[in-house]
Amino acid sequence: MLTRRGFAGLASCAICSLTGFLATDAEAQTAPPAATPGVKRKILGRTEGPAPGYVTITAEVEIEPGVLVGRHTHPGIESGYVVEGEIELPIEGQPTRMLKAGDGFQVAPGVPHGGAKSGERPVRLVSTYIVEAGKPLASPA
């Protein structure tokens, strides 16, 4: 379990999210993210809505063993599902959860969170973001 101090240590945000990447406008939200060692990302879909000024983005992420995901936030809600493997998910204000294949999670808009890979196998996630259009999908926290 990550302590508050350990959680703060993830703040480097070199990866900036389980599925996130920095973007400057709505079009950039669909651009391929910069390469990050140990993390592979693939945008599966992007649609306008569910309300004016919002976009829904679905992405698949693979995180190699031992890779830390830095503390970050999103300008909207993130709902995710662990397809394969295990990962620790520290969300500010909540106890750190150990998620395994079949587990889902949700992170409220603007709430700092990160991740730590556990085990010997990669972890695969699928996350859906409903975020404000034109804002970066993820920002360091």
Instruction: Write down the pTM of the prediction.
Output: 0.73
Distance (Å, rounded) from C-alpha 79 to C-alpha 33?
19
For residue 126, what are its two tokens? 């699928």
Q: Smallest Cα–Cα separation from 114: which of 132, 84, 134, 138?
A: 138
One digit per residue, the tens of pLDDT, for the chain of length 141 reads 444 334 333 333 333 333 333 333 344 454 444 445 788 889 999 999 999 999 999 999 899 998 888 888 999 999 999 999 999 999 999 999 999 999 999 999 999 998 877 678 899 999 999 999 999 888 888
Q: How many domains does the chain have?
A: 1
Domain of residue 126: give its range.
4-140
Distance (Å, rounded) from C-alpha 115 to C-alpha 24?
24
CATH code of 104's domain = 2.60.120.10
Using a 10 angstrom Cβ sphere, with 0-12 exposed, 13-18 middle and 19 or more buried, the burial of residue 14 is middle
